[in-house]
Structure 1
Amino acid sequence: MSLSNPDAQTTNVDDQNLDSIKLYNDLCYDLSSLQELACRGAWRSILDKVSQARSRSLLSKPHEHLIYLSYNAIALTKLRRFNEAVAELDLVEKGLDIYRYETYPHHYPNRHGSMAPFVLRWLHAELPSRLGKRQETLDRFYVLLQFIKEKLSNNLGDESRKVWKKREALVINSIISHHLSHREFGVCLELMKELISRESTDRPVARAILMSKLGYIQMQFGDLEGARGSFGVIEGIVNEEKGESIEMMKNLVNRNKALMFMVEKDYASAVREYQECIDRDGSDVVAINNKALCLMYMRDLSDSIKVMENALERIPTIALKETFVVNLCSMYELAYVNHSDIKKTLSSWIARVAPDDFDTSCTRI
């Protein structure tokens, strides 16, 4: 069963990547409908829409082809059709830097710079790992990180610098995720400390999130005192700062305390911390998932199942994650002789409400 702690993990196709192509909304054919489909997880519909636009020659400008290619590649990646996604990127991989606005002055008067969405560079680095080529992915991410650092060394405006700093953090987190999955903790620690050292002290929420990730990494290789110290820094930030965003960080403090209790096998105390999170924010799926696991470890399977089922009924679009469903199905297997019938009912419900990229094999029917 899996403990949920997304504060310490990286999403595979990050929202920042989608944000990087929303900037073209005033320039691209029917982009808003693609954005809406992506938000709904309707990835197959995106493939159909891109195919139709291409076949009907509806894309007339160079950047439109790049934007539609980006959505197509994201959709293929989400649907785990990795070979097709790689083939899509092969169309532009070697020529991303030639797609510049100034090359097409009749289409883009007074515009300068690359029109290639950053997501294409990110996918170019990420996709080899989906085909079993982990080292190739790491090599490409490090090359991409150097590319970003070179951008940041230029004389950028404030807004451009903010965008590239976000991209730098995204790539470093992607690198950390790949190293962490192979328990290469030393590299993860160095990278995370580098991120923390660069984070401005006037962004307490961002700093608290990074410290939480650091603490999680420290826990992974048994440095419990180090983790306790990192979590203590977060608590200090939350106690000292004011404002609505800091209020949101209180759940982070409770979740971190609960993790330490779980390591110590004090599940009752962990449940109390997670319940405090849920009372504050009923959509905190991390707290809901982990509270249910603690109840299960306390041999209270009935209540643990109720916690999970109530969340799926109350906040289905938020709670419907593969890890969440895997844990619930494991509880069914432990609690019921007829667990196969119960899981089939759950699977039928998932088929009706889940996004296209949901992995239905997690029910283990």
Structure 2
Amino acid sequence: MPNDARLVLLDKDVVESLLLPDDVLEAVREAFVLHSHREGRVFPVVRESLATGGIFGIKSGDVPTQNLLGFKAAGFWPGNRGLGGEPHQATIVLIDPATGRPVCIVDGNAVTTMRTGAAGGLGLQQLARPDSSNVCVFGTGVQARVQLSFALRLMPTLEKVRYVTATSQPDPAFEALFSARCDTALARDRNASVAESDVVITATPGAAALFDLEAVQPGTHLNCVGADTKGKRELPDGLLQRVRLFVDDRTQASQIGEMQWAPDTPCMELGDLLTDHVQFKRGRDDITVFDMTGLALQDLTVARMLFDRACQANLGTALSWPW
């Protein structure tokens, strides 16, 4: 048995120093393409409530042709806010598929945030009207911010942002992040803001419908992030029956995404658009929804990129991990 095996740890500081938006976009696009070609597999998701009040999940998968195998253990612990910490927690583990030995452990918080933002940006590029200018964002937290950042990065036509908070009060920190790039202000009426928007981004804890069905106008695109567990939702009853629905993974979305509320809704996977396995020509009045539940392959391709960069730059902490 080899006694010189090493395990590399990439902590928060190392991850954030290496996590560049363009690199993440490339890795997330690769994950969608691998999934579309069925070269990458995603295994059944574990998502369970805990007695502590947290929600714990595992997303895992592999790419046999690339010797890529691993998982992300993650979830949501709302009590962390009272401790001054982030409620979303994630850890990614890359494993040698030939031996089962771990090769790298990655702090997954920033990875999860940015890969989800990148996925949302790719969804907008594929599905939103190219002349979209008005955005309505539900939420002002970490995920809402990264979704809007990628939206503005990839769709330069966007110029007006209206945001909705749970308290209906302004969020000066959120406005400060984006006011130099676009007209950013609190939405005084959530339904009116949805009706006036070309793009709607929902990035909330997903407790209930955020707006009325009648607010959604022809031509709108919606990126939906919050529904990632059984029982969670952000969209009103009846909307999915009116839209062209796109998902990251059909089975996963029907179990834990918005699609769980209408599991028989016809849908297409975003990766199939990127690989031209399916064709979609948006009609001017089409309403489109991208139901994002997050692919394990996205975590793995981004984590592998970070591992490779860290090794090249001699970053991270290497531990002896003998058999």
Asked if TM exceeds 0.5, the reply is no
Higher strand share: 2
TM-score (norm 1): 0.26
Larger radius of gyration: 1
TM-score with structure 2 length normalisation? Answer: 0.29
